Chains A and B, each alone.
Chain A
Amino acid sequence: MRKLLTGNKAAAWGARLAEVDYLPVFPITPQTEIIETLAEWVDRGELDARLTTLESEHSMVTAAGAAAATGVRVFTATSSQGLLYAMEMLYNVAGWRVPLVLVNVSRGLSAPITLEPDHNDVLAARDSGFLQLHCATCQEVLDSVLLAYRLAEDKRVRLPVLVNLDGFYLSFTREPVILPSREQVRAFLPAFDAGSNRFRGGEPVSQAVAVLGGGPYSYFRYQTHLAAVEAGEVFDELSEAFSNHFDRGFKAIEDYRCEDAEILFVMIGSFATKAREAVDRLRDAGQKVGLLRPRLLRPFPAREFVRLLSGRAGVAVIDQNLSTGLGGILYTELAAALYPVPRRPILASFIGGLGGRDITAGEFYAMAEQVRQAVETGQAPPPRLLFTDQEMQTVRGLQRIAGSEEGES
């Protein structure tokens, strides 16, 4: 069945088709539509799950992890401040080695407070032990949720998964989405098996006990890391199974018109659809450009990146995040992955789309041009914020109204 769905509704459909048992929730814009939709289905008896509204995301993620440890399939969703408020428990739940899916609807972080998206929220969780999938379309949101359960529940992995979609750009955009039937999903995603991690009368389990000393601590932390690394292999297996089953591709990295490309854009999320458009235009103009968009960000598909980037001339890494005092996170991670490669391309770093700021077609062309020049000179340009004179003047205008010194001078 094909349906017009927002990204949020597609996420809710993912949970519904996965036949989740438990929904601990807490509202935050722009995620609310997900939990409202699920609540309505539960109330109407269309989804046989229990929904509990917690008093915070910290508690929500705790309840989610505890329920998963008790042996049910769990779905939850949050955004921005909510994800950060839960951060302590993200690490815990990953350390508990329980599977669950958490959808994050990206939104910029305070201060200043905004409702619009960038990726600093979800990237703050990149070291937590949650695996991460990033979506660019509403179809992908639904597909990612289904795939995420397979990944999280795989015996070789047993880690929670974060599925990310951009606030507003995807959360509230309606696109046609193919809804698989319940039977089709069941054939791909079997019923939840808690394994030995479950609380039952008569079968005592101790979960998340203390350790003494760095030895056992290192052991367990590293086990989590190894499971995350293993998840990369498992993902490839599953993505192939997914493609065969649903007739839709799902590779760890989307490569768009890359075959003979000399210059590549690399970015995550829904703005990549704009990059795709720019690639088409640039191709029309005879430039050999392409786009790489990782869907899988944890584990970091480093080997795949190396394979796809070796021998290329230049790369524009567009980060919709800002690690203060360093720069773009994706850029840093790519640079690290490519360091051992002898024939590595020149990397240029661009920061754009913060707080939902648009990235225009013209800016994509300009970035491609800068990379082309860098390739010619052999000199990587300094990191750049996408920000126009016009925008600067607007800010100055606001400062004048606010009466701040910068504005007056």
Chain B
Amino acid sequence: MSEQDCAGTGKATRQGLLGAGTPMCAGCGGLQALHQIYDLVGDKTVFVNAAGCMTLLSIYPFTPFPGSWLYTAMACAPAGAQGVRDALDVLLAKGRIQPEQDQLPVVLTGDGSAYGMGLSATSAAIDRGLDFLYICYDNEGYGNTGHQYSAATPAGARTATSRVDGYAGIKKDLFAIWSAHRPAYVATAIGTEPADLARKLKKALSLSGPRLLLVLAPCPTGWGFEPARMVELGKLAVKTGIWPLKEYSDGQVRHTQVPARRKPVTDYLQLQGRFRHLFAPVRDTDKLTALQRQVDDYWEHID
């Protein structure tokens, strides 16, 4: 990405389309990303939301969205987007609305919905070639209900339902699941890399069909870190190689940033309460080595 691209998107990012004063936690990485995303997608959008933290963005009678908003439920936001898209298409075809009144359905959900309960609705929406954008802010747990583990929780992380030894499973690969459906576009991103995020979102907006932006959302509350360190932590997620920035289109996966000299994963892990048990009272060298090896293995196959 060139400096010029950055300058262009930088301007867009400063618009601040999403209103201030939301009830999200201080330092919410998901909200940071949404601010940037909203400036780029604009207000001719219908956000179709599933139950999660972001449901509390619109509280009667207030909303930070100058565009439209529809809350559905936890399992079915993509189906809501289907209904909106189909209805707009019908209205356009029958001449009951003008093209400038058209809108983009944007699904907005957390990982619990995107990786789990809403996955069959998502899979089917992709099968049907639904023209929509899916934003998943991945805080790696069921945030709104107190951060229990979800299918997006990384191995070893402590959550409200894995308090002692940490999560025994592995983080599900939603990027691969989406890509296997051969949609128009899939990308990972993070709010702390705004230029990368903006470029991907612009690309997504230039395409039609099912498109996913999977955004890692550092979550001070659920992960156990000081809100002020959110940006530092987000940057470390990328620099340690734990959160690979990549995109899928036309059957190809491309990494948009390959950390040249990756920082050790411990730099990222030790800043978070959810991994504290790996460092104290005794350092769990085995587990830490295994986590490092997982990341190394991943990048070994990337040129």
Using CB atoms and an 8 Å cutoff, list the residues of chain A in contact with chain B: 21-22, 24, 48-50, 52, 54-56, 58-60, 62-72, 88-89, 92, 199-212, 216
Given contacts A204-B67, A209-B63, A210-B56, contact A88 B73 (CB under 8 A): yes
Q: Tell me the complex Cα distance, A3–B176, Å.
A: 53
| Min C-beta distance of A81 to chain B, whole Å | 16
| Min C-beta distance of A128 to chain B, whole Å | 14
Contact between A210 and B79, CB atoms less than 8 A apart: no
| Min C-beta distance of A83 to chain B, whole Å | 16
Contacting A at CB under 8 A, from B202-222, are none
| Min C-beta distance of A210 to chain B, whole Å | 5
B41 beta carbon closer than 8 Å to chain A: no
Contact between A201 and B101, CB atoms less than 8 A apart: yes
Name the 5 nearest CB pairs between A and B, nearest first.
Answer: A66-B83, A59-B79, A55-B124, A63-B83, A70-B87
Contacts of A64 in B (CB 8 A): 83
Partner of A199, one of B86, B89, B100, B103: B103
Q: Tell me the complex Cα distance, A59–B67, Å.
A: 24
Contacts of A52 in B (CB 8 A): 82, 86, 128
Contact between A202 and B121, CB atoms less than 8 A apart: no
Q: Tell me the complex Cα distance, A30–B60, Å.
A: 41
| Contact residues on B (Cβ < 8 Å of other chain), bracket | 35 or more
B90 beta carbon closer than 8 Å to chain A: yes
Please classify the interface of chain A as helix (H, G, I), strand (E, B), loop, or mixed, using the class held by over half of its residues.
mixed
Using CB atoms and an 8 Å cutoff, list the residues of chain B in contact with chain A: 43-44, 46, 48, 55-56, 58-60, 63, 65-73, 75-76, 78-84, 86-91, 94, 96-97, 100-103, 120-121, 123-124, 127-128
Partner of A50, one of B72, B89, B121: B89
Contact between A206 and B73, CB atoms less than 8 A apart: no
Given contacts A92-B73, A199-B103, A207-B70, 6 further A-B contacts (CB under 8 A): A58-B76, A62-B79, A88-B75, A199-B46, A204-B69, A205-B68
Partner of A206, one of B56, B63, B76: B63
| Min C-beta distance of B129 to chain A, whole Å | 11
Contacts of B84 in A (CB 8 A): 66-67, 69-70, 199
Contact between B73 and A202, CB atoms less than 8 A apart: no
Contact between A209 and B120, CB atoms less than 8 A apart: no
Contact between A59 and B76, CB atoms less than 8 A apart: yes
Q: Tell me the complex Cα distance, A89–B78, Å.
A: 14
Contact between B69 and A65, CB atoms less than 8 A apart: no
Contact between B59 and A66, CB atoms less than 8 A apart: no
CB nearest to B76 among chain A residues: A62
CB nearest to B66 among chain A residues: A204
Q: Tell me the complex Cα distance, A201–B82, Å.
A: 17
